[in-house]
Amino acid sequence: MERPGTHADIARIEARIETLHEAIARCRKISLAAKVAIVVGAAWLALTIVGLVPFVPTLLFGSLAALIGGVVLAGSNSTTWQQTDDALAASEAMRRELIEQLELRVIDDNVPTLH
């Protein structure tokens, strides 16, 4: 016999797993945005220093802000991504454990069925 609530527990964990997958997808997008901000900020700063673009203080400070903001965003997002990935692994392990407790029967393909 299975304990009551097992199917509901598995469904709840699967919903959590789906939510964590969505959070990881958001982390990927944020990571890409942070990398773009770092590259654009560094490129504009380098072009200004070399003299290929005219010196405009507002653009220079904007490139510095993009560079620093991108680094901070990448670091923060990296931590969030790792924590979410750990929670995903724990939830998948819990789901696997609950499914194993169900003692499901394996149906052999060679056994004829009535339907």
Tokens of 36: 């773009």
Sign of the C-alpha dihedral, residues 36, 39, 41, 47?
negative
The pLDDT of residue 110 is 74
| Most confident option among 2-16, 20-34, 95-109 | 20-34
For residue 22, the enclosing domain spans 6-101
Determine the angle formed by the axes of helices 57-101 and 6-50, rounding to 10 degrees.
Answer: 160
Q: Mean pLDDT, to the nearest integer, of 59-86?
A: 95
Residue 16 within a domain: yes
- Kindly list the distances between the CA atom of residue 75 and the CA atoms of 4, 35, 98, in Å, as whole numbers in the listed order: 43, 11, 35
Residue 111 within a domain: no
Residue 61 within a domain: yes
- The tens digit of pLDDT for each residue in 77-93 reads 999 999 999 999 999 99
Share of the chain above pLDDT 70, in %: 91
Residue 48 within a domain: yes
Residue 110 within a domain: no
Residue 114 within a domain: no
pLDDT band for 1, please (50, 70, 90 cuts).
very low
Number of domains the chain contains = 1
pTM of the full predicted structure? 0.74
